Chain A
Amino acid sequence: MGLGLGVMRTIEFLLLIIAILSAPVLSDLILSKVERRIDLTSQIARIASTIKAENDGSSSVSEILLSIPEVQAKNLAYLTAKLVEGKGKAKTSGVALAVEPANPKGMPPALSFYTMILPKPLANGDSVTLDVLAAFTHSLRPFPEKITQADIQLVVFQDTAHYLSPYPVKVQSLTLKLPDARIESYTKLENTKGLGSEIKYGPYENLPPFSYSPVAIHFEANQAFAVARELVREIEISHWGNVQVTEHYDIVHGGAMSKGEFSRLDYQSKPQIRGASAFKHLVAKLPPRAHSIYYRDAIGNISTSHVRGDSKKTEILIEPRYPLFGGWKTAFTIGYGLPLQDFVFESEGKRFLNFSFGSPMHDLVTDSITLKVVLPEGSKYLSVSTPFVVQQEEEIKMSHLDIFGRPVVVLKKANVVPEHNQFFQVYYQFNALAMLMEPFMLITGIFFLFVTCIIYVHVDLSISKSSASYLAKLQWDDVRATVQQIQNTVNQCLSTHEKLEASLRDLSRTGDVQACKAARKATDGLLKELSKELKPLISFLQSSPPAAHILPKVEELVAKERELQERLMAKHSTIVDSYEKKLGGRETENRVASVQQKIVALRQDIEDLMEYIDEI
């Protein structure tokens, strides 16, 4: 079945081959050795080629062409080439070469070309070794395309056994690394070896340019085919010390579509068999010291996630709400905060953010990524440097208490693989004083609120100054002030009475009659003065109509107070008198008793009246 598929699926390739075979040879370059290793253990097909190129012509060559069939090229996510220096074991991959899409003339139309520009032209007879890494997404096609819950997921990968190149290739070989599982079938050519999970084609020797020999490998692949159809990452910088990252994922299982029933029972009892093609969780590797991590979706928090961290990384295991079978979708958001000093640096008067581009998830293919870097309000002179080509825009975001808005750098790219997790930089200028603007705004706002309150309380806002109710209110205020004054005066009187009593006490202790008499005289004068003070206040109350209902009480208060004064004086004089006459304590008390009772009752009355007036 797999082979049949191979034939069917390569009809397009046949046309391609015909076109290729009629193409001219480009230059005098010869590829003396090509080793290709294709890693198919994840959903991303990674092709690592080591190419040794030799200049066989007379003129020097400064660039080398790579050709990729267009069917594959549209899935090409990542392509780099590096110069290998040294020989044998001491090989080190050195400078990365610039790889650019090219469109050389006279080439077959079904191929896409990329040129690698060498740092120095290759002279006649010289050779150069290159490491080329290409990553393709969506190139493992599920076959069958629809499976049930119990089925395993089989995929087909197609490529050519011969290295497709515009140059003649002397020696070449191809190794395919498959996941550690069943291999349904693979195209058998000459020199084909299957070793466990590895399939080896080659070595083949002396093949002309554009040699092509299609192979198809049909194998079991149950690993997560997690594809983010859309990923929006928002990185918000706050110079108060935080870089907040929010990532919105729209995930789909990109493997074979699930058909028929989903039985939770089967899935729970035999998850390895009855849910082999499903994936339960994703793992994200966040930078160290990530904090305030959350994981939620449109309808709330998702409680199935685990975080563990050490000094090098923070690892978060995310379980979507339900296991994802082929074609099932889900969407969620994760967010986390990072310390500012780890990602924002300052150089030559400019600040720059140094942050990784792609998603922190393991083995996630992102169809379309939108990266938004939100800089603080007041940032100027933005510039971006990225290790690969991305689409760039700028916009403004209004956030907490902004007036002008925060500048946002928007970077967009399609078809992103983990290889894209490289650092990019956003340069900007920002004055630290601008940080204080928002707190200052708040302080000003609250200050003016209080000022308004103060003004409102103190300013007379009534429109008609002559209206009856307004005048009545003014009068009432006067009355209240007067009553307050009267109360104060009465209180003073009462405290004067205390002095009188105190003098009596002194008398009993020291026996100084003269001092006691003097004290009485002093208090008497004081009380007279106070009652003089009271007079105009009472007369004012009598004259003002709103005080009518409170007047009797006030008058009663004053009268009672006067009576109290008299009684106290009487008591005082009696005691002093009897002291002078050297009467016994018992007798004195008998003489004073009736007055004393009266005094107590009067005091009580005054207190009650005061309380009553207070309540008004």
Chain B
Amino acid sequence: MASPESAVNGPTMTAGAASKSLRNAFGGVIAFIILVLIGVLAFSIRLFSVIKYESVIHEFDPYFNYRVTQFLSKNGIYDFWNWFDDRTWYPLGRVIGGTVYPGLTLTAGTIWKVVNSLNIPLSVETVCVFTAPIFSAFASWAAYLLTKEVKGPGAGLTAAALLAMVPSYISRSVAGSYDNEAVAIFALVFTFYLYIKTLNTGSLFYATLNALAYFYMVCSWGGYTFIINLIPMHVLLCIVTGRYSSRLYIAYAPLVVLGTLLASLVPVVGFNAVLTSEHFASFLVFIIIHVVALAYYIKGILSPKMFKVAVTLVVSAGLAVCCAVIAILIAVVASSPTKGWSGRSLTLLDPTYASKYIPIIASVSEHQPPTWPSYFMDINVLAFLVPAGIIACFMPLTDSSSFVILYIVTSVYFSGVMVRLMLVLAPAACILSGIALSEAFNVLTRSIKFQLPGIAGNPSIAVRMWCIMSTSKENGSSTVVAPNDIPKTEEAAKEKPAKKNRKKEKENVEKKPTPSKTEKRLLVLPLEASVIAVLLLVLLGAFYVVHCVWAAAEAYSAPSIVLTSHSNDGGLHVFDDFREAYSWLSHNTDVDDKVASWWDYGYQTTAMANRTVLVDNNTWNNTHIATVGTAMSSPEKQAWEIFHSLDVKYVLVVFGGVVGYPSDDINKFLWMVRIGGGVFPHIKEPDYLRDGQYRIDAQATPTMLNCLMYKLSYFRFVETDGKGFDRVRRTEIGKKHFKLTHFEEVFTTHHWMVRIYKLKPQRNRIRGKTKKSKSSRSVSSKRDVRGKRNPWH
């Protein structure tokens, strides 16, 4: 009876051995091809915006980066460092070279230069548009490397594939979204990889590379503080849990020394690298790790008795040093008004900080806390896989897996504070989900492999199955169940008895087997359960892919300067009003004219229309923004005076009332009032609200109906349909017929989305009419009072 079974076994065994050797021989090649394909996927899934719309820079900040890149490619690196931009923040200007994170710009500029030196005539714009997709391919490769260091190549490939199409990252890196985050996520993941690599190998070479990668990250994004806080936290964790090793020292100490030196080379960071609180954690841990290293060293050379004496010595010395450092820290921190933290960092630590003190930070939608749907939207099924991944990381817990756990925990917190930081969470979620999926597949496919119908008759396998099941029954199934398959356990448990019975009937020849002596834990699940679980996991992955493609194609590809809508008959209607207005400004106004608009449109105006603006998206000067906000919320005459004092010639407002474009200036208006009121107290928010409600209909307050923003938005609006029905606010406007006395309409785009007004020249003084001059004098005396509030008088 036994012999036929082994006969079946023979060929399969040899075939198995052959396939194994094949797998080993070509494993590297296959992994490489898969990685290349993942890179292609990451690049191509981000091209929806180019295919559906056009190859164009998106949104707001990318326009600034694009303009900087243009400057860099035209004038060279030295002019770039010294660039004082006089086309923005008029009349203050802005030192671009010293206030911008140059990583992205330098990267794209270098690509452009290399490509053009090879005589491939790509424009700067093309390079800028495709920088983000290229770097997201790099980022997924970096995720592969990082996960490979943590849990092996299988998990690495899964994580890379997940990261290649995670919607959260896609939202910031579609073709055209030329923003810092596009390269920063790559830099972030790569820095973490090099840190883990150094930690695993203890190689000084990788430690140096790590410092360089950190330098690149500092160049690229303000989010580098996340690295310089997370790595010390991990080092501290390792030390506390008794995992100190020389590898840890090599991974950390060079990073702090070299990294800080390199970081201070970046003009925008400079001495902040040693002066601000964001960096202090790293220095503190740097001291601690030296103390610990010294302790271990002394422990090594001294006898245990001597060591005890030394411990007292070292601990007291260490405490003294720590106290001194802490004292210095407190002194430095106490001397600065924000306690040494920048506003955005404080917002991270105290989520209510911005809404209390800095309305500019709070007014940006991406600085708001996210909602639950946005988690589902941005990381989709990863949210469910992450817990499984965390569990997988605990078995066994290594230095590298503890780092990944720390990474996910902190990034979950940060993403909960600011929706923008969902981007930091995405790689962590992908890595952990990759680990979870890979482990799950590992267990399930192994289970299937051992129980395939062809092999089911194999006595050795059958016996082993038997052993496991019996041992599992005896031992309480703790060793059998794969830890990352918790949802499947019940199913598996149900399957077991049935399986067992069948096996018994089938192989009644077998005697009661002796329990297996193998020490290795065999994670085998019943065949049916495994097959179903594999199918479910594949289905889950399929859902994820479908969602990602949908998100890439529909949700995140719109460039936001071009809007489209589908008409009822399926035709596509394009709203290209922003570019219409910018194009008009650039061709039909004088090159030195100043254009006032809310700060959202500052970058676009300088980049697309090449006109000087008062404020832009780099919100470095709150007072200046408040001045514009005040002007927008003042009555016409006062607004004219403020604008005139700033040499403004044109005022640009965005108005969505005709076509129903919701993010227009009227909807942003309360922030203008708040920010303006924060600096100029005569602007009071309650004046613009009726019973705490913001409205522009007949119930609106007179202050609201007479402010400049209202008038510029709704000038002659009533004549479009006779009623003045605002499609965004879904109401008829309050004040319908009015004339402008100090402004004249010079341009309105096709769908009325952008309206440009020109300041009328100052009236000639009319003499003789005493009555009028008196009243005007009274106005002017009033104006004097107000003039004190206006810093430009």
Residues of A within 8 A of B (CB): 260-265, 269, 297, 299-304, 321-322, 328-331, 398-403, 491, 494-495, 498, 501-502, 504-505, 508, 585, 589, 592-593, 596-597, 600-601, 603-605, 607-608, 612, 614
Q: How far apart sit A498 and B17, CA to CA, in the bound complex (Å)? A: 14
**What chain B residues lie within 8 Å of A498 (beta carbons)?**
6, 10, 13
Closest CB pairs A-B (n = 6):
A264-B748, A300-B56, A301-B54, A505-B3, A329-B587, A303-B574
Closest chain-A Cβ to B508's Cβ sits at a distance in Å of: 12
Q: How far apart sit A502 and B576, CA to CA, in the bound complex (Å)? A: 80
Closest partner residue, chain B, to A508 (CB atom): B3
**A-B contacts, CB under 8 A, total:** 121
Closest partner residue, chain B, to A505 (CB atom): B3
Q: How far apart sit A111 and B17, CA to CA, in the bound complex (Å)? A: 101
**What chain B residues lie within 8 Å of A321 (beta carbons)?**
576, 579-580, 583-584
- Asked if B118 is an interface residue, CB under 8 A from chain A, the answer is yes
- Asked if B608 is an interface residue, CB under 8 A from chain A, the answer is yes
Q: How far apart sit A612 and B56, CA to CA, in the bound complex (Å)? A: 54
Closest chain-B Cβ to A361's Cβ sits at a distance in Å of: 18
- Asked if B744 is an interface residue, CB under 8 A from chain A, the answer is yes
Closest partner residue, chain B, to A399 (CB atom): B121
Closest chain-A Cβ to B543's Cβ sits at a distance in Å of: 33
Closest chain-B Cβ to A260's Cβ sits at a distance in Å of: 7
Most buried by B among A328, A331, A597: A597
Closest chain-B Cβ to A88's Cβ sits at a distance in Å of: 54
- Given A401-B118, A604-B464, residue A322 in contact with residue B747 (CB < 8 A): yes
Could you name 20 residue pairs across A and B whose Cβ atoms are closer than 8 Å? A262-B745, A264-B747, A264-B750, A299-B583, A300-B55, A304-B576, A321-B579, A328-B587, A331-B587, A398-B119, A400-B121, A491-B17, A504-B3, A505-B3, A585-B1, A589-B1, A597-B514, A601-B514, A608-B518, A614-B24
User: CB distance B464 to A501 under 8 Å?
Assistant: no
User: CB distance B716 to A265 under 8 Å?
Assistant: yes
Q: How far apart sit A261 and B120, CA to CA, in the bound complex (Å)? A: 46
- Given A299-B582, A505-B4, residue A401 in contact with residue B744 (CB < 8 A): no
Closest partner residue, chain B, to A300 (CB atom): B56
- Asked if B746 is an interface residue, CB under 8 A from chain A, the answer is yes
Closest chain-B Cβ to A217's Cβ sits at a distance in Å of: 31
Of B56, B513, B580, the contact of A597 (CB 8 Å cutoff): B513
Closest chain-B Cβ to A18's Cβ sits at a distance in Å of: 43
Q: How far apart sit A297 and B54, CA to CA, in the bound complex (Å)? A: 12
- Given A600-B459, A600-B463, A608-B518, residue A303 in contact with residue B576 (CB < 8 A): yes
- Asked if B588 is an interface residue, CB under 8 A from chain A, the answer is yes
Closest partner residue, chain A, to B10 (CB atom): A498
User: CB distance A301 to B121 under 8 Å?
Assistant: no
Closest chain-B Cβ to A214's Cβ sits at a distance in Å of: 36
Of B6, B514, B745, the contact of A501 (CB 8 Å cutoff): B6
Of B2, B463, B584, the contact of A604 (CB 8 Å cutoff): B463
Q: How far apart sit A263 and B582, CA to CA, in the bound complex (Å)? A: 17
**What chain B residues lie within 8 Å of A502 (beta carbons)?**
7, 10
User: CB distance B587 to A604 under 8 Å?
Assistant: no
Chain A at the B interface: SS class: helix
Of A265, A330, A399, A605, the contact of B518 (CB 8 Å cutoff): A605
Closest partner residue, chain B, to A500 (CB atom): B6
Contact with A along B449-468 (1 / 0, CB 8 A): 00000000001100110000
User: CB distance A300 to B54 under 8 Å?
Assistant: yes
- Asked if B771 is an interface residue, CB under 8 A from chain A, the answer is no
**What chain B residues lie within 8 Å of A593 (beta carbons)?**
511
User: CB distance A301 to B7 under 8 Å?
Assistant: no
User: CB distance B516 to A264 under 8 Å?
Assistant: no
Counting contact residues on chain B (CB < 8 A from A), the size range is 35 or more
7 additional contacts, CB 8 Å, given A328-B587, A401-B119, A600-B459? A261-B744, A300-B561, A322-B750, A399-B119, A491-B17, A508-B3, A605-B517
**What chain A residues lie within 8 Å of B746 (beta carbons)?**
261-262
Contact with A along B561-579 (1 / 0, CB 8 A): 1100000000000101001
Residues of B within 8 A of A (CB): 1-4, 6-7, 10, 13-14, 17, 20, 24, 54-56, 118-121, 459-460, 463-464, 509, 511, 513-514, 516-518, 520, 561-562, 574, 576, 579-580, 582-584, 587-588, 608, 716, 719-720, 744-750, 752
User: CB distance A604 to B518 under 8 Å?
Assistant: yes
Closest chain-B Cβ to A362's Cβ sits at a distance in Å of: 22
Closest chain-B Cβ to A473's Cβ sits at a distance in Å of: 14
Q: How far apart sit A329 and B516, CA to CA, in the bound complex (Å)? A: 88
User: CB distance B587 to A330 under 8 Å?
Assistant: yes
Q: How far apart sit A612 and B720, CA to CA, in the bound complex (Å)? A: 80
Q: How far apart sit A302 and B574, CA to CA, in the bound complex (Å)? A: 10
Q: How far apart sit A593 and B576, CA to CA, in the bound complex (Å)? A: 84
User: CB distance A297 to B514 under 8 Å?
Assistant: no
Most buried by A among B14, B460, B520, B562: B460
Closest chain-A Cβ to B594's Cβ sits at a distance in Å of: 20
**What chain B residues lie within 8 Å of A328 (beta carbons)?**
584, 587-588
**What chain B residues lie within 8 Å of A262 (beta carbons)?**
745-748
**What chain B residues lie within 8 Å of A508 (beta carbons)?**
3
**What chain A residues lie within 8 Å of B459 (beta carbons)?**
600
Closest partner residue, chain A, to B588 (CB atom): A328
**What chain A residues lie within 8 Å of B748 (beta carbons)?**
262-265
Of A265, A299, A596, A605, the contact of B608 (CB 8 Å cutoff): A299
Q: How far apart sit A264 and B747, CA to CA, in the bound complex (Å)? A: 7
Q: How far apart sit A603 and B518, CA to CA, in the bound complex (Å)? A: 12
Closest partner residue, chain B, to A397 (CB atom): B121
User: CB distance A299 to B518 under 8 Å?
Assistant: no
Closest chain-A Cβ to B450's Cβ sits at a distance in Å of: 11
**What chain B residues lie within 8 Å of A605 (beta carbons)?**
517-518
User: CB distance B460 to A603 under 8 Å?
Assistant: yes
**What chain B residues lie within 8 Å of A400 (beta carbons)?**
119-121
**What chain A residues lie within 8 Å of B514 (beta carbons)?**
597, 601
Closest partner residue, chain A, to B518 (CB atom): A608
User: CB distance B119 to A604 under 8 Å?
Assistant: no
User: CB distance A322 to B14 under 8 Å?
Assistant: no
Q: How far apart sit A506 and B402, CA to CA, in the bound complex (Å)? A: 58
Q: How far apart sit A269 and B20, CA to CA, in the bound complex (Å)? A: 77
Of A263, A302, A322, A399, the contact of B745 (CB 8 Å cutoff): A263
User: CB distance A501 to B3 under 8 Å?
Assistant: yes
- Given A265-B719, A501-B3, residue A301 in contact with residue B587 (CB < 8 A): no
**What chain B residues lie within 8 Å of A607 (beta carbons)?**
460
Q: How far apart sit A343 and B561, CA to CA, in the bound complex (Å)? A: 39
User: CB distance B749 to A322 under 8 Å?
Assistant: yes
Closest chain-B Cβ to A486's Cβ sits at a distance in Å of: 14
Closest chain-A Cβ to B711's Cβ sits at a distance in Å of: 15
Closest partner residue, chain A, to B116 (CB atom): A398
**What chain A residues lie within 8 Å of B587 (beta carbons)?**
328-331
User: CB distance B14 to A299 under 8 Å?
Assistant: no
Closest partner residue, chain A, to B63 (CB atom): A299
- Given A263-B748, A297-B583, A604-B460, residue A302 in contact with residue B4 (CB < 8 A): no
- Given A328-B588, A601-B516, residue A300 in contact with residue B119 (CB < 8 A): no
- Given A263-B745, A597-B511, residue A614 in contact with residue B20 (CB < 8 A): yes
User: CB distance B3 to A261 under 8 Å?
Assistant: no
Closest partner residue, chain A, to B573 (CB atom): A303
**What chain A residues lie within 8 Å of B24 (beta carbons)?**
614
**What chain B residues lie within 8 Å of A603 (beta carbons)?**
460
**What chain B residues lie within 8 Å of A589 (beta carbons)?**
1-2, 509
Most buried by B among A299, A597, A608: A299
**What chain A residues lie within 8 Å of B460 (beta carbons)?**
600, 603-604, 607
Most buried by A among B7, B460, B588, B746: B588
**What chain A residues lie within 8 Å of B121 (beta carbons)?**
398-400
Q: How far apart sit A597 and B512, CA to CA, in the bound complex (Å)? A: 10
Closest partner residue, chain B, to A607 (CB atom): B460
Closest chain-B Cβ to A388's Cβ sits at a distance in Å of: 31
Q: How far apart sit A483 and B230, CA to CA, in the bound complex (Å)? A: 42
User: CB distance A608 to B583 under 8 Å?
Assistant: no
**What chain A residues lie within 8 Å of B118 (beta carbons)?**
401
**What chain B residues lie within 8 Å of A301 (beta carbons)?**
54, 56
